[in-house]
Structure 1
Amino acid sequence: MDRLVYTAMTGARHVMEQQATVSNNLANATTTGFRAQLDAFRAVPVVSEGLPTRAFVVDSTVGTDFRSGPIETTGRPLDVAIRDTGFLAVQSADGSEAYTRNGSFKINENGILQTSSGQTLIGDGGPIAVPPDTKIAIASDGTVSVVNDNYAPGPSNTLGRLKLVNPDTKNLLRGDDGLFRQADGTPAENDPNVRLVDGALEGSNVNPVDSMVNMIGLARQFEMQMSLMKNAENNAAKATQILALS
């Protein structure tokens, strides 16, 4: 009985973890540049003196779906979308370099170009400062330029170039802040082949319909594990009655 309980318990616990992952994906179905998280589990046989009839569920590598999301035109000068593969380099809260697909930018009170989440964008010479009373434009290669509003038409001044990278996705790890970093902690190299689409944003690559179907399937799997534990309890009660009669 106890063997069945522990086997069903590990299965139920990891089904709950999968449900949490799917719920997080659904919550970010409209988040700009979000990449769906994937859970992977594997069965491990229990090695003992008895017959190899039991298996436990253990965590395997947690991955990410790096497929591109839909690109929607916004017409906003501070919106960019990455075409195909690649990432924008930003400075995370701890000062380290991280990577994101969120191309919704803003200019903070100090004139520094940031993402909508508040991470400072990294340029070829550090953070990019935008002068006041200017109109900003971002080229497909990441070059940021401005035109003074006091002149019509005014000369274009280049402020810098966004750092665009394209590291191997196998070496990227997702942090608790939703940003990606290289597993060895080293900064990625600039990739001149990464291209931007100005005035557009990339949506999440989460498919809400598939996620809802997956959630229903996980709920049924959880009920099955609970049923096994209930059967184990009933078997133990029957065995106790037989022992009491003898």
Structure 2
Amino acid sequence: MRALHTAASGMAAQELNVQVISNNIANLRTTAFKKQRVAFQDLIYDHVRRVGAQASDQGTILPVGVDIGGGVKTVGTPRLMTQGTLSQTGNDLDIAIRGEGFFKIQMPDGSFTYTRDGSFQMDAQGRIVNAQGNPVQPTITIPQNSSGLAINAQGQVTVTLPGSTTPVNIGQIGLTRFINKAGLQPIGDNLFTDTPASGAPQDGIANTDGLGDMQQSNLEQANVEAVSEISDLIAAQRAYEMNAKVISAADQMLQSTSGMFR
């Protein structure tokens, strides 16, 4: 019976929807996390009577047709790259991006990944690195025994060297943007890689040419809204239950049909 397969596709779709919502809620406190949503489309139709077909020898046309749908399919889980709120941390190496752009991170194999997570640290060599110890690009090394670390809105890093009172510029953290941010591939650890869908990375300087600025001692929070996610979760649960009801009703109809032959 067609209704069983149609309702089953609806249950599978809502199960995936709940998985996406649960991941959003799980990352409610993940720095710079960008939430996802599920995009659905209806499946191919069985055209029993095509609309616009000739209905009689006199040339009359069917004003409506008979089209039986096959259910629903998931076509994507796009990531919403909207700005998250900024939260002060008091840590000199915490940097939030306010506006467009990603930090560029060099991986151990020499490739590059991109992130909005600016919770940086300093490694044993004095380099500014992410939580996994991979250096931020361009690589910046903080001199030993320096003080007064400051990072301005354009990403320029200055320190005060021992025996001096004048800040010295030791480098500039860059930003990278993409034509289609939603086309980036998430790989975990708050990192993304570029894909043909995202377009080529475009390196630049913060606070110029449409790129956002940097806010030292701040971190960007996840753009997940708890109330909205709970509301979506309830809606997905009810949709799942309704599809289950359809399967139950179709099963009862099949039982009634089979009972007629006894």
Question: Which bin holds the TM-score, normalised by the shorter protein?
Answer: 0.7 to 0.9
Are residues 58 and 112 of structure 1, via their aligned partners in 2, closer, same or farther at CA, if it must alter by over 3 Å?
A: same
Cross-structure match for 2:128: 113
Are residues 17 and 171 of structure 1, via their aligned partners in 2, closer, same or farther at CA, if it must alter by over 3 Å?
A: closer
Give yes or no for contact 1:37–1:63 (8 Å, CA) kept in 2. yes
Cross-structure match for 2:204: 190
* Unmatched runs of 5 consecutive residues or more in structure 2: 50-65
Question: Which of the numbers 142, 166, 171 marks the counterpart of 2:155?
Answer: 142
Q: How does 1:1-246 map to 2 (within 5 A)?
A: 1=1, 3-47=2-46, 52-92=67-107, 95-123=110-138, 127-135=139-147, 136-148=149-161, 150-151=162-163, 153-170=164-181, 172-177=183-188, 178-184=190-196, 186-192=200-206, 193=208, 194-244=212-262
The DSSP-based 3-state class of the residue aligned with 1:233 is helix
Q: Which moved more, 1:49-58 or 1:62-71?
A: 49-58
**What is the distance in 1 between the residues matched to 2:11 and 2:182?**
30
Are residues 172 and 9 of structure 1, via their aligned partners in 2, closer, same or farther at CA, if it must alter by over 3 Å?
A: same
Are residues 33 and 155 of structure 1, via their aligned partners in 2, closer, same or farther at CA, if it must alter by over 3 Å?
A: same
**What is the distance in 1 between the residues matched to 2:259 and 2:11?**
28
Letter in 2 for 1:174: Q
**What is the distance in 2 between the residues matched to 1:121 and 1:101?**
12
Q: Which moved more, 1:48-57 or 1:155-164?
A: 48-57
* Unmatched runs of 5 consecutive residues or more in structure 1: none
**What is the distance in 1 between the residues matched to 2:41 and 2:108?**
35
Give yes or no for contact 1:172–1:180 (8 Å, CA) kept in 2. no
CA RMSD of aligned residues (A): 2.2
Q: Which moved more, 1:223-232 or 1:106-115?
A: 106-115
Give yes or no for contact 2:158–2:167 (8 Å, CA) kept in 1. yes
Give yes or no for contact 2:187–2:193 (8 Å, CA) kept in 1. no
The DSSP-based 3-state class of the residue aligned with 1:175 is strand
Percent of pairs with identical residues: 27
Are residues 40 and 31 of structure 1, via their aligned partners in 2, closer, same or farther at CA, if it must alter by over 3 Å?
A: same
**What is the distance in 1 between the residues matched to 2:27 and 2:109?**
24
- State the TM-score, normalizing by the size of structure 1: 0.86
**What is the distance in 1 between the residues matched to 2:20 and 2:146?**
43
Give yes or no for contact 1:4–1:228 (8 Å, CA) kept in 2. yes
Letter in 2 for 1:190: G
For residue 200 of structure 1, report the CA deviation from its aligned partner: 1.2
**What is the distance in 2 between the residues matched to 1:94 and 1:176?**
15
Are residues 176 and 16 of structure 1, via their aligned partners in 2, closer, same or farther at CA, if it must alter by over 3 Å?
A: farther
